[in-house]
Amino acid sequence: MPALDLAQEELGYLTPEAMSEVAEALQLDPGYVEGVATFYSLFHHEPIGKHRFYVCTNLSCMLRGASGIVDHVKQAIGVERSDQVSADGLFSFEEVECLGACEYAPMMRLDHRYHYDLTNESVDKLIAEIRSPSTPDSVPSPLTPALSPKGERVRKARPTRKKANG
């Protein structure tokens, strides 16, 4: 799944070629990789916005105003449905089931980060931060590989492990 996530992050969605490449790289059956990619709703097979809002609309979030947050996200990015992308190609959204952070309802995931206790103003602020030219285009996620200025992947130094005695 992390490999599929990386491919999706790079391409914006999973193409058949990307899934085949993941299968080949991990020496897995292509049918198995496709099965995983089509089972989970976090993988997309059509182009989506570069940044995607995953707004939780399960019980706790719904009781604390999630439907208003969904309406506000749709209005703010200028789409009606989850299969649409904002005119600038930057945003799309979808409603998702519980993300396991009910105590911070209403909440959502934007790309790989969780955002809690949402208000219309906090949603606007997130959108403005991404659209602002003074803000880096994307915040690196734990899955984003570090790249050198030449675009080569930089390996992170790993802490050395202490050998167990006896």
Query: Residue 101, interface with ligand FES (CB under 6 A)?
Result: yes
Query: Residue 63, interface with ligand FES (CB under 6 A)?
Result: no
CB nearer ligand FES, residue 13 or residue 113: 113
Q: C-beta of 69: minimal distance to ligand FES in Å?
A: 11
Q: Which of 83, 84, 54 is nearest to 69 (CA)?
A: 54
Report residue 91: phi and psi, to 5°: -130, 150
Handedness of CA 12, 13, 17, 21 (dihedral sign): positive
2-11 vs 30-39: helix crossing angle, rounded to 10: 70
CB nearer ligand FES, residue 7 or residue 53: 53
Q: C-beta of 52: minimal distance to ligand FES in Å?
A: 17
Q: C-beta of 109: minimal distance to ligand FES in Å?
A: 10
Binding mask 103-122 for ligand FES (x = CB under 6 A): --x-x---------------
**DSSP H helices in the chain:** 2-11, 16-25, 30-39, 59-63, 66-77, 120-131
CB nearer ligand FES, residue 62 or residue 90: 62
Applying CB under 6 A, among 33, 56, 85, 126 the residue interacting with ligand FES is 56
| Interatomic CA distance for residues 56 and 95, integer angstroms | 6
| Interatomic CA distance for residues 114 and 54, integer angstroms | 9
Q: C-beta of 106: minimal distance to ligand FES in Å?
A: 7
Number of residues that make up the chain? 166
Residues of the shown chain interacting with ligand FES in the complex, contacts defined by CB under 6 A: 56, 58-61, 98-102, 105, 107
